[in-house]
Amino acid sequence: MTSITSRLQSPVLAREMRQRMLGRRGAVAITVWLVLLIGVFGLAYQGNSDFDSGLNVLSAARVGREIFEWVLTGMLLIVLFLVPATTSGAIAGERERQTLLPLQVSLMSPLNIVLSKIAAAVVFTVLLVVLSAPLLALTYLIGGVTVTDIFKGIAMVELTALTVGALGVACSAVSRRVQAATVMVYGAVLFMIVGSFVFYGAAAVIDNSRGFDEPNPPKELLMINPVVATADVFERVDGGFTLDTNTPLGALRTMLDEVEQIDVGFGARQTESTRVWRWYVVACVLITYASVATATSRVRTPAKVER
C-alpha cells in the first residue's frame, strides 16, 4: 500500500498534471472534446428527430441507445487521437529538453517515472469522461440505456486510454525525437484499428477461395481492435430478431453475429467464450505490460549516448 501511495504522490505525476491543467494545450483539449461530443450528440439527436412523443417505449429506447452509441463512438475515437499526442513526448520530450538525465539519476525508480507518465494521460482522460457525464446522463433519460451500459462504455474508453497511453510512453522511450515517437504511436493505433480489419478481410478472402461455403474468418484477428471490442461489450437492443442500431457499433455487432451464425447455425448468437471484448481485455493487459517493461528498460540509468 505504501508503494502504491508513493507512486500516486510522484513529483513527475504532479508536474505532468500541473502542466496539462494550467497549460494552453489542456484547455484546448478540453474545449475540443466538449465541442466534438456536443456536436455528435446534436447530430445524432437531429437524425432521430422524426421519433416524436407518440411512438412506443421500444422506439424511444432505440433512439436513446443510438444516441448513446454515437456519443460513445465519438469518445473512443477522440481518445485514440488525443492520447498518442499527449504521450508521444513523455520521454522523448524530456530527452530533447535534456531533462531526462536528472530524472534518471534521481531517487525515483525507472518504473515510477514510466507509471507517472502513463497515469498522467489516464487521469486526464478520466477528467474528460467526467466532463462528458451530462451527455451520457441525457441518453439515460431518453431511454434504452442502463447505468450498467454507461459504466461498460466508460470502462472500455478508459481501458483503451490506458493501453494507448502505455504504448505511447513506450514509443517515446525508444525514440530520440518526439516526431519519431508520434509517428510510431499513431502507426500502432492505426494498425490496431485498420490493420486488424485488413487481416480479417484477407482471412475472409482466403477462406472464401477454399470452398463454396460462406467465409468465416477467425474473430481472434479483431482482438486488438478497440472499436470492435466496444461494440461487442453491449447486447443488441432487439434481441437479435431485427436490424441492430444504426450506428457503427451496431453494424459491427451485426457482423460478429453473422460470423457466429456461419460457425454454429442460423439464429446463433455469440457465447461468452467467443466474445471479442474478452480477448481485447487480455490483449490490452499484455500490450500494457510489454509497453511498461520496454519503457522502463529504456529509462534506466543513462546510456552512454545520453551522458
CB 201 within 8 A of CB 216: no
Instruction: Considering only residues 185 and 236, tell me which one the structure prediction assigns the higher pLDDT.
Output: 185
Inform me whether the pLDDT recorded for 72 exceeds 50.
Answer: yes
Tell me the whole-structure pTM to 2 decimals. Answer: 0.86
The pLDDT, as a whole number, for residue 266 is 45
d(CA 2, CA 119): 17
d(CA 34, CA 231): 22
The pLDDT, as a whole number, for residue 151 is 95
Per the document, the length of the chain is 307
d(CA 162, CA 156): 10
CB 156 within 8 A of CB 230: yes
Confidence category of residue 212, pLDDT binned at 50, 70, 90: low
Inform me whether the pLDDT recorded for 7 exceeds 80.
Answer: no
d(CA 86, CA 122): 10
Q: DSSP letter string over 49-99?
A: TT--TTS-HHHHHHHHHHHHHHHHHHHHHHHHHHHHHHHTTTTHHHHHTT-
Per-residue pLDDT reduced to its tens digit, 110-162:
898 899 999 988 999 999 999 999 999 999 998 889 999 999 999 999 999 99
Q: What is the mean pLDDT of the chain?
A: 83
CA angle at residue 164 from 162 to 166, to 5 degrees?
65
Nearest of 291, 31, 301, 2 to residue 167 by alpha carbon: 291
CB 47 within 8 A of CB 39: no
Question: Which residues make Cβ contacts (< 8 Å) with residue 235, sequence separation at least 6?
Answer: none
Q: Which residue is associated with the grid cell 466508460?
A: 154
The most confident of 86-90, 102-106, 193-197, 265-269, by mean pLDDT: 193-197
d(CA 277, CA 229): 4
